[in-house]
Amino acid sequence: MVMNKKKTPTYVKGRMHATAVIIPGILMLFGIMIFSVGYGVADIDSKTIWNSIVSFDKNNLSHQIMHELRFPRVLGGAMIGAGFAVCGAIMQAITRNPLADSGILGINAGAGIMIAVCFVFMPSLSFTGIAFMSFLGAGMGMAMVIGISLLTRTNSLQIILIGSAITTFLTALSEGLIIRSGIGQDLAFWYAGGLAGARWNQVIIVSICFVLAMAMSVILSPSITALSMGEDIAASLGINTKTVKLLCFLTVTLLAGASVAMVGNIGFIGIVIPHITRKLVGTDYRALIPCSATLGALLVVLADLGARSINPPHEIPAAAIIAAIGVPFFLLLARKKG
């Protein structure tokens, strides 16, 4: 990116074509998703899976497990992984900072404080209620960051600073609230729960946001590529940078807000996946965005499968599995080519 001007990664030798990543990626993703639906504490064979889709039987316990627990979980996992990855890619392009992810827009911090407030003041709230409130919080955090940066007509660099100031502020407030009321561990359990609580009503909301945001990011991707080279270049290419940026921020909020509300913050995906993808297919966002989405979905579905199957019937926090898969891979890649 900006940091190493010496080489333009688009022309790095040995770069793969985007389709060489996407097609096997999607095939693998579907394979693992189907396997993941069948695999779990209650083992279900492939015939039953097929039957439960084609001819759903309300009284069949296996069918019920599939419909109520497994499908939303696997589907949700795939969308969240794709979502975080795409958000990270977009944010890194706009801010031209390899450390940026959706958290910079105050999304995670806003969601975090709302969840803390829910735990302290509305302990009887349902899982879906909490998810809804945290989506609201994500929007609120984003509104604060974007509002202030619009107010001051700042550039992308200062958005990072405003974002980290507001993130810091909101995080501190929720930390204070958590320490005062002693709910830290309850919250830790909630966050560690990850995808286990995914149900249809959430997954439907997430998928609406997901489809909308994905469509938007694909439409915006040529402009994002231009923006990633700097605002002046983008402007000289005839792009209305302000509008594009605003649309990008909306996309990110929609996508990351819904994801954070469902599983909490797995921000690492947003940094690790775009970087790996950039090494594979280069920095053209028309290729980068779909490839990141595929790989992100793959990572989370795999991690969720691992979380469920390593120590059944207990679950390991999905973040731990993502770390176990992602960190060594990422370090290796960074060493090899960086």
CB 199 within 8 A of CB 72: yes
What residues numbered 183-222 form the site for another protein, per CB under 8 A? Answer: 184-185, 188-189, 191-192
Q: Shortest gap between Cβ of 241 and another protein (angstroms)?
A: 17
Which residue from 16, 41, 161, 219 is in contact with another protein, where contact means CB under 8 A? 161
Query: Quick one: which segment of 78-86, 92-100, 200-208, 285-293 binds another protein (CB under 8 A)?
Result: 92-100
Give the contact letters, 271-290, x = binds to another protein (CB under 8 A), - = no: xx--x---------------
Buried b (16+ CB within 10 A) or exposed e, 265-303: bbbbbbbbbbbbbbbbbbbbbebbbbbbbbbbbbbbbbb
309 contributes a contact to another protein by CB under 8 A: no
Which residues between 211 and 270 bind another protein (CB under 8 A)? 268
CA–CA gap between residue 177 and residue 112 (Å, rounded): 11
Q: Is 302 in the site for another protein (CB under 8 A)?
A: no
Distance of alpha carbon 37 from alpha carbon 176, whole angstroms: 40
**Euclidean distance between CA atoms 277 and 290, whole angstroms:** 10
Smallest gap from residue 266 Cβ to another protein (A): 9
Contact with another protein (CB under 8 A): which of 60, 154, 207, 309? 154
Q: How far is the CB of 288 from another protein (least distance, A)?
A: 17
Q: How far is the CB of 327 from another protein (least distance, A)?
A: 4
Helices (H), 152-240: 156-181, 184-193, 200-227, 231-236
Question: Three-state DSSP class for 81?
Answer: helix
What tokens were used for 202?
């959430």
Q: Which residues contact 119 (CB under 8 A, 6 or more apart)?
A: 181, 183, 186, 187, 190
SS3 content of the chain, % helix, strand, coil (to 5): 80, 0, 20
Chain positions 33 to 72 lying near another protein, rule: CB under 8 A, are none
Q: Please identify which residue in 64, 128, 158, 309 interacts with another protein, judged by CB under 8 A.
A: 158
Instruction: Choose, by CB under 8 A, the member of 67, 169, 222, 237 that binds another protein.
Output: 169
Q: Tell me the HSE value of 144 on the side-chain side, using a 13 A CA sphere.
A: 24
Query: Is 115 an interacting residue with respect to another protein (CB under 8 A)?
Result: no
* Residue 171 touches another protein, criterion: CB under 8 A: yes
| Residues in touch with another protein (CB under 8 A) | 1, 3-6, 97-100, 148, 151-154, 157-158, 160-162, 164-166, 168-169, 171-173, 175-176, 178-180, 182, 184-185, 188-189, 191-192, 268, 271-272, 275, 316-317, 319-320, 322-324, 326-327, 330-331, 334-335, 338
